[in-house]
Amino acid sequence: MVGIFGSRLTPLRLVAWLAVFVSLIGCSIGSAYAHGERNQEPFLRMRTAHFYDVKWSTYKLAVNDLLTITGKFRLFTDWPNNLPLPDKVFLGSGTAGPVFARVESYINGQPAIQSGKLELDRDYTFKIVYKARQPGVHHVHAMLNVDGAGAILGPGAWIDVTGKESDFKLPVTTLDGTKIADLTSWGVGTVVKWHALWFVIALAYMLWFLRKPMLIPRYLVITEGNEDTLITRGDRLWGLFFLVAAVLIVIGGFQWASAAYPRTVPLQSGVFKVDPLPQGPRTIDIKLEKATYDVPGRSMKLEVKVTNNGTEPIQAGEFATAGIRFVNHSVPAAMAEVDPVYPKELVPPGGLKVDNDAPIQPGETRTLNLDMTDAAWEVERLTALLNDPDNRVGGLLFFFDSDGKRLITNVYGPIVPIFTKLEPTNQVGAD
C-alpha cells in the first residue's frame, strides 16, 4: 500500500502509524475540569438552593488526608414552578467521580447518608468530610440533589491533591468486630475466585460438546431426521454430573457464606428527617420593583423597595446568586465576610454598587438601585436566563446592621433585558 505513507506500508510501519494515531488520541483527551455548572439553566442556579458561608478546610492536601466543606444553604422561596418541590433531597458530592471518598456528611448536624425532605425558604447548615483518594487538581463543589430537579451545584473550589492513589486506604470496623483494612478491595478476592470457579465449570461443560464437530455435520444429521443420534449416553451423564455439581456448589457456597458471615443486614433504604435552622425575626421588608439586564453592558440592575422594621440602621452588603457573590466594597462588615482564600472567580471585582449607601434607619422605607456590572454574568452563562421560559431573577440580598449583624432577604421577580443601542461615537470606525 502506498499513498500518504510515501512507500510500501509494511506491518512495522502500520504499527508505527497506529502508535502515532493512538498517541494523538491520548493527547486530545483532557481532564474534566469542572462539573458543567455553567451549563445549568440560570433559573436552576438562581432560584433553587442558594449556598452561602461555604468554606473549604484546605486547598491542598495529600492522599488519605481529610477535606471538610462546611456552609449553609437556603432553599429559595421563589422555587421554579417547573421543578418538583424538594421532598426528596440528598446532600450530594460535587466532585469528579470518586476522586475523594466521602467519609461523613451532615445537614443541620443530622447524618445525611440517606435522603430526606427539606423546606422552602428555610436555612440549613451542611458539612461534608472527604478523604483524598486520587492525586490531581479537582474542582469540589457543595451540591444538593433534588429528586426530579437533578443536581444543584453550589460554589466550587480547586483542591490540589498530592501523593499516590495506591497509598489510599479506607479502613472500617464492622459491628461484629471485623476489621476491614480497605473498602476499595474488601471482598474482591472472594468475588474473583467465585467468578473464576464458575467460568472454569462453564468452559469445562461446553468443551465436552465443542471438541466434536459442530455446525454443518450436526445440522446435516438433523435435516436427515437422525437428531437422536447426536446426544449420546455419555453426553447425558456429563450433563447430569454438571447439574448435580452446580446445585451442590450453590448450596455449599450459600452454607459457607452464611457460616462465615452469620450477622448480616439488608441495604438500608430509609430517609432522614431534619428540622431547618430556627427562623430568626425577619425585620426587613423588601420588594423587587424592577429588574433589568443590560446585555452589552453586562450589567444587572435591581430596583428594590426596602423597609427597615428593625431597631438598627442597615446597609445592603452583598447580593448572592448562583454561587456568585457581589459584595458592596463600601460596607466593611460585608467585606469582612469574604474569606481571603475564597475562590476569586466567585467574587466579581466590580461587586455590588448601591446608589445610596447611607444606612437605612429603623422605620425608614427607601428605594435602592443595585448595580452589579461584571463579565461574570457572561462567564457564568447566567445571561442565558433571557432564554428561559420563566424569565425571572432571584438571589439573596444580605444587609448588615451597625453591629455587623447579617440579615438575609430574598429578592426575586421578573427581569427585562435591555438591548442597548450603541451610540455612534462608540462604534468601531466612527468618526
Partner 1 sequence: MQKMADSETVQIYGVTWSKWSAALSRRFDILVAIVLFLAVLSAFHLHFMLLAGDWDFWIDWKDRQWWPTLTPIVAITFPAALQYVFWEKFRLPIGATFGIVCLLIGEWLARAGGFYLWSDFPFSLIWPATLIPGAIVLDTVLLLTGNFLLTAIVGGMGFGLIFYAENWPMLAAYRLPMEVMNSMVSVGDYIGYAFTRTATPEYSRLIERGTLRTFGGHSAAIAAFFSGFACVLMYLLWWYIGMFLARVVWVPNKLKTLMGFKKDARPASEVVVV
Q: What distances in angstroms separate CA 52 from CA 252, 323, 342, one per listed residue? A: 56, 8, 12
Rounded to a whole number of angstroms, the minimum distance from the CB of residue 146 to partner 1 is 9
Rounded to a whole number of angstroms, the minimum distance from the CB of residue 57 to partner 1 is 18
Q: What is the pairing mode between strands 115-116 and 271-272?
A: parallel
Q: Of the candidates 20, 183, 336, 422, which one interacts with partner 1 according to CB under 8 A?
A: 183
Task: Decide: is 261 part of the binding site for partner 1 (CB under 8 A).
Answer: yes
> Quick count: other Cβ atoms within 10 Å of Cβ 28?
7
**CA trace torsion 363, 369, 372, 377 (10° rounding):** 110
Phi and psi at residue 426, to the nearest 5°: -90, -10
**Residues between 348 and 377 with contacts to partner 1, criterion CB under 8 A:** none
Residue span binding partner 1 (CB under 8 A) among the ranges 14-22, 156-164, 196-204, 379-387 = 196-204
Rounded to a whole number of angstroms, the minimum distance from the CB of residue 68 to partner 1 is 14
Q: Compare residues 8 and 179 and give the one whose CB is closer to partner 1.
A: 179
**CA trace torsion 242, 247, 251, 253 (10° rounding):** 40
Q: Compare residues 81 and 173 and give the one whose CB is closer to partner 1.
A: 173
Q: Of the candidates 51, 52, 56, 100, which one interacts with partner 1 according to CB under 8 A?
A: 100
Q: Of the candidates 253, 332, 349, 404, which one interacts with partner 1 according to CB under 8 A?
A: 253
Binding mask 53-92 for partner 1 (x = CB under 8 A): -----------------------------------xxx-x
**Please, are residues 221 and 229 in contact by the beta-carbon 8 Å criterion?**
yes
Task: Decide: is 297 part of the binding site for partner 1 (CB under 8 A).
Answer: no
Number of Cα atoms under 13 Å in the Cβ half of residue 231:
7
Q: Compare residues 92 and 323 and give the one whose CB is closer to partner 1.
A: 92
Task: Decide: is 162 part of the binding site for partner 1 (CB under 8 A).
Answer: no
**Residues between 122 and 161 with contacts to partner 1, criterion CB under 8 A:** 134, 143, 145, 147, 151
Rounded to a whole number of angstroms, the minimum distance from the CB of residue 182 to partner 1 is 9
Q: Which residue has the cell 430517609?
A: 271
Task: Decide: is 103 part of the binding site for partner 1 (CB under 8 A).
Answer: yes
Task: Decide: is 260 part of the binding site for partner 1 (CB under 8 A).
Answer: yes
Q: Compare residues 238 and 366 and give the one whose CB is closer to partner 1.
A: 238
417 grid coordinates:
433585558
**Residues between 209 and 248 with contacts to partner 1, criterion CB under 8 A:** 209-210, 213-222, 224, 226-227, 229-231, 235-236, 239-240, 242-243, 246-247
Residue span binding partner 1 (CB under 8 A) among the ranges 57-65, 208-216, 318-326, 359-367 = 208-216
Rounded to a whole number of angstroms, the minimum distance from the CB of residue 134 to partner 1 is 6
Q: Of the candidates 178, 309, 365, 367, which one interacts with partner 1 according to CB under 8 A?
A: 178
